[in-house]
Structure 1
Amino acid sequence: MAVIIKQSSLTIEDYLKQEEKAIDKSEWIQGKIIKMAGASANYNTLTGKLHALLLFALEDLNYSVFMSDMRLWIEESQSYVYPDVMVIQGEPEFTDSQQIAVTNPCFIAEILSPSTAGFDKSQKFTLYRSISQLQEYLLIDQKSYRVELYRKVGERQWLFTEFIGKDAIVELEIVNIQIALSELYKRVKFNE
């Protein structure tokens, strides 16, 4: 999804009030408001497919799976973001009784677009790494069979693995699931 970054004079409280009434979502990252733009068909297909695969695989286990409308509060950076897909092991820790934001994902996935790929790989991943529960971060390309997985292997250590091609299979250790790229990318249309 495309983003536009604006410096904001809004407080976090003002931002949350604004989001309650807003038609379009915005993220609040360290005092900046980032407007979320519309998404492509490939983005929607990949987000929905990953959510469904995780939801059905984890349905009877002690996990919660959320899509891009669930907000994530990152305490260390004082930021609210909307990851494309999140998984929480155990009970979700919400910021308040309205359950508008969670704080404890063990897995986050982002669908890359040309306008957000650099941001998702660098600044956003830096924010996500401050979440102590986070163990795996998945980046999904929407223009080819290509997935990047970052797995936490130690304090401030992340292992990068790249999966390329229709026959590749991604193994998510934190949720004990294998995802074939042929299944994940089914119905995704690549431009020639």
Structure 2
Amino acid sequence: MSAVLQPSSRMDPTAFLAWEEHQPGRHEFVDGEVYAMSGATSTHNTIAGNLYMALRQGLRGTPCRTHIEGVKVHIQAADSVLYPYVFVTCDPVDLTPERDTHKTSPTLVVEVLSPATAAYDRGRKFELYQQLPSLKEYVLVEADRPHVDLFRRNAEGLWVLHPAGPGAVLDMASVGLSLTLDQVYEEVDFDLSRAFLQDRIEPSAGPAAS
């Protein structure tokens, strides 16, 4: 679970980005607070890796780029900085050297859920991501069962839920790619994942990363 840190002085997002480059671990910046991020499980890494590879291969030859875990998203309208599990950006500005460690205009964001983070990822974190004008789809992937919730922004600016269960196809229209849930969950052992995640259930009101 993440913990709130107390830097030596109050920071804004620009100062946070400069500070975080010199830290040994990863941190998120939300509502003026700095949160140290905890580690992920091998199941989370497998799911994120499956999505990253499929998106990266599927988007070859396009202006879009896929990023995994270590690259931040700066939500300027919310003065917040987050680490998505996987995201895609198609904005040329995000390809410049000034945007090497953080991006500002993702088209698609993917988060892999755990019991400790699910409420936050579905609630406050989603509220933050919705303040990105570029964002078209927000994908929440369960780690203990084959289920994905994809939220797509419609023409009226409303977010519409498109759930996908066993045997379904995950249609990521924002980037023109579709994956079966078998591809999303390749090499995932759900029995092992459920047993491990159950042991890690704990209340969480703020950012966490596992």
User: Fold conserved (TM > 0.5)?
Assistant: yes
Instruction: Name stretches of at least 5 consecutive residues in structure 1 with no aligned partner.
Output: none
CA 1:98–1:109: 2 relative to 1, 3 Å: closer
8 Å Cα contact 1:64-1:92 kept in structure 2: no
Aligned counterpart, 1:113: 114
- 125-134 vs 12-21, which moves further: 12-21
Aligned 1:7-156 pairs, distance under 5 A: 10-12=10-12, 13-93=14-94, 97=98, 99-156=100-157
State the TM-score, normalizing by the size of structure 1: 0.91
Alpha-carbon separation, structure 2, partners of 1:50 and 1:149: 14
1:184 Cα deviation (Å)?
1.2
Alpha-carbon separation, structure 1, partners of 2:95 and 2:118: 28
Bigger relative contact order, structure 1 or 2 (CA pairs below 8 A, ≥6 apart): 2
- 9-18 vs 51-60, which moves further: 9-18
CA 1:50–1:187: 2 relative to 1, 3 Å: same
- 6-15 vs 97-106, which moves further: 6-15
More helix as a share of residues: 2
1:156 Cα deviation (Å)?
3.5
Alpha-carbon separation, structure 1, partners of 2:89 and 2:60: 12
1:87 Cα deviation (Å)?
0.6
Aligned counterpart, 2:202: none
8 Å Cα contact 2:105-2:134 kept in structure 1: yes
Alpha-carbon separation, structure 1, partners of 2:15 and 2:105: 24
Give per-residue Cα distances to partners, 1:55-79, cap 9 Å, x unaligned: 0000111211111111111111101
Give per-residue Cα distances to partners, 1:7-34, cap 9 Å, x unaligned: 7653135433431221210100120112
More strand as a share of residues: 1
Alpha-carbon separation, structure 2, partners of 1:168 and 1:69: 29
CA 1:95–1:119: 2 relative to 1, 3 Å: farther
CA 1:162–1:98: 2 relative to 1, 3 Å: closer
Alpha-carbon separation, structure 2, partners of 1:108 and 1:135: 9
RMSD (Å), alpha carbons: 1.9
- 83-92 vs 121-130, which moves further: 83-92
Aligned counterpart, 1:181: 181
1:92 Cα deviation (Å)?
4.1
Give per-residue Cα distances to partners, 1:119-147, cap 9 Å, x unaligned: 11110110111111100000000100010
8 Å Cα contact 1:46-1:188 kept in structure 2: yes
Instruction: Name stretches of at least 5 consecutive residues in structure 2 with no aligned partner.
Output: 195-210
